[in-house]
Amino acid sequence: MSELYEKSLGKLELDQVLQLLAECAGSEGGKEACLSLRPSSDLEEVELMLNQTTAASDLCTRKGNPVFGDVTDCSASLERADRGGSLQSVELLRIAGILRCARNIKGYVAEDDKATVLDALFQALSPNKYLEDKIFGAILSEEEIADNASPELSDIRRHKRIQAGKIRDSLQKVISSPAYSKFLREPIITIRQGRYVVPVKSECKNDVPGLVHDVSAT
């Protein structure tokens, strides 16, 4: 029976049909779900799926296609967070993206008062705009965290800016000083290896107190 069943699916070119369907999916999880579909022999299940398909088609006709955005499988990240583990910024952004998607889909059907067999699926979505806004407000990109992500981070960065300003002021006095300006290649302040530096003439390196952080090839 199983061999005959698989041969029948091959004759129907089901794999090609599912591949075309998967290309319409808005996420990797959706594509996998499309490719794993198999015909049902249960009458009630068949009728339900046909009704869901009809309802979805009607909804898209009346309201246009819903926008899912970039939805990524975050189950592993959520499981680790549930165990008390820490998440990387990219993981948090993906979770916030899913929350935003859930909120958008809820909004997509919010003003539609026509009851359908899809209602239970939409009601199962649980947006959390508070958490969504918290994540997007704290994480600007995969590489950049906002100053207001936490009071501690805000204090650290404020202290860092103050110290950087003091360092620049001190170096500005150096490059403006007649006692040292004659030893400089240029009266400028640059950053090398994460530190503020001034370009000193190689033959004068012993005349200016400090550390040599780099040597110009010229």
The answer to whether position 58 is within a domain reads yes
Q: 27-54: buried (b, 16+ CB within 10 Å) or exposed (e) per residue?
A: beeebeebeeeeeeeeeeeeeeeeeeee
Q: Are residues 137 and 158 in the same domain?
A: no
Q: Are residues 132 and 170 in the same domain?
A: no
Q: Are residues 115 and 79 in the same domain?
A: yes
Domain end marker among 120, 146, 172:
146
Pair 122, 105: CB distance under 8 Å: yes
Q: Give the pLDDT score at 213.
A: 63
d(CA 35, CA 51): 20
Domain span at 167? 151-204
The answer to whether position 54 is within a domain reads yes
Q: Are residues 70 and 128 in the same domain?
A: yes
d(CA 120, CA 3): 36
Which residues, at least 6 apart from 39, have a Cβ–Cβ distance to it below 8 Å?
A: 9, 14
Q: Are residues 62 and 141 in the same domain?
A: yes
Q: Give the pLDDT score at 214.
A: 62
The answer to whether position 196 is within a domain reads yes
The answer to whether position 4 is within a domain reads no
Q: Are residues 72 and 135 in the same domain?
A: yes
Q: How many domains does the chain have?
A: 2
Q: Are residues 142 and 156 in the same domain?
A: no
HSE-CB at 103 with a 13 A cutoff on CA atoms is 13
Q: Are residues 86 and 167 in the same domain?
A: no
HSE-CB at 178 with a 13 A cutoff on CA atoms is 0
Measuring CA to CA, which residue among 33, 190, 209 is closest to residue 121?
33
pLDDT digit of tens for each residue in the chain (218 aa)? 477 777 888 888 999 999 999 998 878 888 999 999 988 889 999 999 999 999 999 998 988 888 877 788 899 999 999 999 999 999 999 999 999 999 999 988 887 778 889 999 999 999 999 999 999 999 988 888 888 888 888 888 888 888 888 888 888 887 788 877 777 777 888 887 778 887 788 777 777 776 676 666 55
Q: Are residues 63 and 137 in the same domain?
A: yes
Q: Are residues 141 and 159 in the same domain?
A: no
d(CA 56, CA 175): 71
